[in-house]
């Protein structure tokens, strides 16, 4: 299988005046196309730091990071933001939707960052993604008018709009109740089954067990890295339009 990312001997140090935090202390990890990885570990173990490096939001202090075959560890800010918009989709705990924009406009945002001119074709794609996540009937609603689970669905649709090679999710169900978390994890699992590679930070075992590989961090290093067999997905309840899923992948 094709490698989506490769990290070797990665260190991250944060310096403050005279003190220094050594947040990542030699991390090695390879993620291949089609994987669904959970990143776990206690508070302060370096999960978000690693996810920020993976997301090209932060640079390693030492070591290398290859994303889609390109060495991104030495790239400048402009190159990094171009890589971000071409290769990556992001899902956050707080959804990070723009309140003044509608559902479909929020889904369009990454296209704007990428400098793509919005037209009827791009609009149709964003409407299709809204339908994919079950929000075809809420296109003109604003985030405030949606439930938390619906807002996270918009964020998932937005993360797909650039057809990213890799989706990064930081506690995607952290603000949701159990039932809604279940729906969001079903959606992410189906996206993974359609071919999307996902790396997700979570501190909940119940959420990690949806993924196919569980990487545990402790004190800035990877402590364990194990395959996991998720439970079969419950197919009852609203299904995803499979043709839309294939187009999204």
Ligand X SMILES: Nc1ncnc2c1ncn2[C@@H]1O[C@H](COP(=O)(O)OP(=O)(O)OP(=O)(O)O)[C@@H](O)[C@H]1O
Choices 45-53, 117-125, 148-156, 234-242 (CB under 5 A): range interacting with Mg ion: 45-53
Query: What's phi and psi for 83, nearest 5 deg?
Result: -60, -45
Instruction: Answer with the entry of ligand X, Mg ion, none that 150 interacts with (C-beta below 5 to 8 A by kind).
Output: none
Round to whole Å and give the CA distance between 174 and 180: 11
- The answer to the question of residue 48 lying near Mg ion (CB under 5 A) is yes
Site for ligand X, residues 17 to 46, rule: CB under 6 A: 21, 23, 41, 43-46
47, 125, 153, 196: residue in contact with ligand X (rule CB under 6 A): 47
Residues within window 184-213 making contact with ligand X, judged by CB under 6 A: 203
- Residue number, 48 or 106, with CB nearest to Mg ion: 48
Q: Taking CB within 5 to 8 Å according to partner kind, which of Mg ion, ligand X, none is near residue 146?
A: none
- Report the Cα 114 to chain-centroid distance in Å: 18
Q: What is the DSSP letter of 211?
A: S
d(CA 41, CA 21): 18
Phi-psi bin for 100: left (phi > 0), alpha (psi -120 to 50), beta?
Answer: alpha
* Residue 25 tokens, joined: 């202390």
Which positions lie near Mg ion, rule CB under 5 A? 48
- Applying CB under 6 A, the residues found at the interface with ligand X are 14, 21, 23, 41, 43-49, 203
């Amino acid at each position: 299988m094709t490698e989506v990312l490769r990290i070797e001997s990665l260190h991250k140090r944060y310096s403050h005046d005279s003190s220094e935090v050594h947040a990542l202390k030699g991390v090695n990890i390879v993620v291949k196309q089609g994987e669904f990885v959970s990143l776990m570990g206690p508070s302060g173990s370096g999960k978000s730091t690693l996810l920020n490096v993976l997301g090209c939001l932060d640079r390693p202090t030492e070591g290398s990071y290859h994303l889609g075959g390109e060495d991104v560890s030495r790239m400048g800010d402009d190159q990094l933001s171009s890589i971000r918009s071409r290769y990556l989709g992001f899902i956050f705990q707080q959804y990070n939707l723009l309140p003044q924009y509608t559902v479909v406009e929020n889904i369009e945002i990454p296209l704007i960052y990428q400098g793509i001119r919005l037209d009827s074709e791009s609009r149709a794609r964003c409407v299709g993604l809204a339908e994919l996540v079950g929000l075809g009937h809420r296109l003109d609603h604003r985030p405030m008018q949606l439930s938390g689970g619906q807002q996270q669905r918009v964020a998932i649709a937005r993360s797909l709009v650039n057809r990213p090679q890799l989706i990064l999710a930081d506690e995607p169900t952290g603000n949701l109740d159990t039932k809604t978390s279940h729906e969001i994890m079903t959606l992410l699992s189906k996206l993974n089954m359609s071919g999307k590679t996902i790396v997700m930070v979570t501190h909940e075992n119940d959420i990690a067990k949806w993924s196919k590989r569980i990487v545990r961090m402790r004190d800035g290093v990877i402590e364990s890295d194990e395959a996991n067999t998720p439970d079969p997905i419950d197919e009852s309840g609203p299904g995803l339009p499979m043709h839309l899923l294939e187009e999204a992948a």
